[in-house]
Amino acid sequence: MSWMSGCGKDTVQMIPTKFSYKEVRSTCGQTSFHGGIVLCEDCEARAERLYPQGWSDIPGDTCEHGNYIGTPGGYDYICGLCEMGEKI
Ligand SMILES: [Zn+2]
Ligand SMILES: [Zn+2]
């Protein structure tokens, strides 16, 4: 299961500034300020259903055991439990 790269809808990302946040117009699927991914509300809601365990940068980069396993197409980090075929 891999995460598709967003729907391209206009969305707003909040970038921290010295005193507060500023809103920057972005498109859904774009790389965010934090190095993750900008998602619109719809895609974020869907990602939360697909990955209830949450994620670090990009939906799908954390396995069902809550271990960081790397971003799709990037480095892979092996989860020992996944390797053993362990299911929750
Ligand atoms: Zn979207
Ligand atoms: Zn795992």
pLDDT digits (tens, 9 = 90+) for 27-51: 999 998 888 899 999 999 999 999 9
29 CA to middle of ligand 1, Å?
Answer: 7
Q: Between residues 74 and 46, which one has the greater pLDDT?
A: 46
55 CA to middle of ligand 1, Å?
Answer: 16
> What's this model's pTM, rounded to 2 decimal places?
0.76
Q: Between residues 88 and 40, which one has the greater pLDDT?
A: 40
Residues 58-82, mean pLDDT to the nearest whole number: 88
18 CA to middle of ligand 2, Å?
Answer: 37
Query: Domain coordinates of the chain in residue numbers?
Result: 10-83
76 CA to middle of ligand 1, Å?
Answer: 25
- Ligand index nearest the alpha carbon of residue 87: 2
Is 2 exposed, middle or buried, given 0-12, 13-18 or 19+ CB atoms closer than 10 A? exposed
Residue 72 has pLDDT above 90, yes or no: no
Q: What percent of the chain has pLDDT over 70?
A: 92
